[in-house]
A and B are shown apart, each in its own frame.
Chain A
């Protein structure tokens, strides 16, 4: 794959206008990346190798850190001896660092690059852009096609059909949905979808901005829909004990039929032995008559405010937003996700094609990042904990809502 990238980079260099002054780059470029899983790591190393070949005088130092660990390390990295380029996430997740003045304003790069308008909002705060996207991926319901066929079920389009399907699945002795809620964030996906389908994308964002109380009747309606699923026993038992990976085996064994999750779950499903004939994907069904919103978390590159070689860093950010570079790094055998640049092409992969089509044509409401990126960090952590409690003890709902409302009043007041 690296040779392809190299060839590609060479052509980009010959044709691209952005690299007209490429020879001028020198010095040291320090990159810290959280692309630590095997495939993303190879992509990152390929990117660095290609960028290095285009700029022979530039001394690039790449440090790959564990993805989970990076979430807490980033704070130290940004303040003490900051590198020149780092990985992070869009929307509210970058908020604290932008407000603390730790991220570089890169609005000037955005003036140069084209095709990224769809996610511009997620990288904009205070009217400026603070980073560039390199990949995103869709969320949706991944299900066992073979079990659906066996039970004579069709991909549902409405919530009634969804529940009717679910009842048939339960009657066949299975669970409808795999979920592992030990790490609370998986519950955020369910809330996102139920709320966006019940009340619409705009309402969801109002809630994220703290403009609506959690005790609002519309929020209660979302939970009422959720409770229908909980009450019928749709979810995997004891899900509070499992991580999202640990909840995959029941789906692979056929004990659970579907999984609301991001596209990153497809690779482990395939690795576990499921073929593309056995798994398929459908968009979360319609509940109320509102435009459909979708979750598509975007991963990004940023320049710390304290970076030393900002010129080289800017060139690197421009490089990763190129349409052909994004096509290449998001291919099925690389990241296996969706390129953000509208001029990129999507790899011929069942799920990537469906996801791309869904996000381009079927998300009329808007594209959300994800619960823990749209909501402020603290609100997200308190809320997702409440969601897990609700999924185990739905009778505690009133208490949970009061707690969330109390948290909202404090968090957004600051």
Chain B
């Protein structure tokens, strides 16, 4: 046994255990209690078993949050193909291409809070640019963030803007690593257009796609700031996702239900666990294959 690697790992492991692993188990524990977050759990909390989870199963607001999370998961994945196509488009040698690349990358650099504010103004029912634009085509004014059936999609669209930029950067880096000889060989065999892209380029971009998939899934599941800025979960709670609902129940102004919030967090954690397990499994598989 060599000691050196463990010494280097020790600070990381220590912090991971104390700030990640330990709180996960604490959340499991708190989710079994009714507790307002004041005082000690052991003295001020009441053990209620699985009551919090039973209540979740009949809670409509939780149901809405769950469905919205699913919408985020599915629609956020659009960032991957969009990022790929922008990357392909920008992977040219033209004068000023660096400037264009910077412009496309720009939304990822600015804070999510700013993105949220910009899109809120863009969507405003009377003064917003979107409605001014729709007006040109004679389309009626829409109140995207005020309409319970549209608001979530409006926020996802805002989130896709920076996420697409992120995926684009990943693919631009990946495109640098594409083997020119393979492209040349494919060209000699008569491949071009879609076939060239699908059978020659995309397979070589697999590592980039994997990372893009990971960051997009995680990004979709932890969506919070845009919702908080753009609608605050409204109108009447229709744009909540699990992380926001957890915050509302446990930590916000009127949130005094630590146990219930922890139960929501546990459900979110289990959903994330499905993806995390898949990511770990595929990484392990690749590592083994590379050996």
Residues on A lying within 8 angstroms of B by beta carbon are 71-72, 75, 78-79, 96-97, 100-102, 182-184, 237-238, 240-241, 372, 377-378, 380-381, 385-386, 388-389, 392, 403, 410, 414
Contact = CB atoms under 8 A, between A and B. Distances in A.
B225 interface: no
Given A75-B37, A101-B39, A403-B60, A388 B234 contact: yes
A96 B258 CA distance: 13
A96 B38 contact: yes
| Residue from B145, B235, B252 with most neighbouring chain A CB atoms (10 Å) | B235
Contact of B146 (A183, A240, A381, A403): A240
Interface residues of B, number: 28
| Residue from B255, B256, B257 with most neighbouring chain A CB atoms (10 Å) | B256
A380 B254 contact: yes
A410 B52 CA distance: 12
Contact of A378 (B44, B146, B257): B257
A276 B7 CA distance: 72
Contact of B38 (A97, A372, A377, A385): A97
Given A182-B234, A238-B143, A381 B39 contact: no
B232 A183 contact: yes
B235 A240 contact: yes
Interface of B: 34, 36-39, 44, 55, 60, 124-126, 143, 145-146, 231-232, 234-237, 248, 251-257
28 contacts: A71-B253, A72-B253, A75-B37, A96-B36, A96-B38, A96-B256, A97-B38, A100-B36, A100-B38, A102-B38, A183-B232, A237-B125, A240-B236, A241-B124, A241-B125, A241-B146, A377-B253, A377-B256, A378-B254, A380-B254, A381-B253, A381-B254, A381-B255, A388-B234, A389-B235, A392-B146, A410-B55, A414-B34
Contacts of A378: 254, 256-257
Contact of B145 (A102, A183, A241): A241
Contacts of A385: 234, 236-237
A240 B238 CA distance: 12
B36 A240 contact: no
A238 B125 CA distance: 7
Given A75-B37, A414-B34, A388 B235 contact: yes
Q: Which 3 A-B pairs have the closest CB atoms?
A: A100-B38, A381-B254, A389-B236
A184 B234 contact: yes
A184 B6 CA distance: 53
B42 to A, nearest CB: 14
A240 B234 contact: yes
Given A96-B36, A378-B257, A380-B254, 15 more contacts: A72-B251, A75-B38, A79-B39, A100-B39, A102-B38, A102-B39, A238-B125, A238-B143, A240-B146, A372-B254, A378-B254, A385-B236, A385-B237, A388-B236, A389-B236
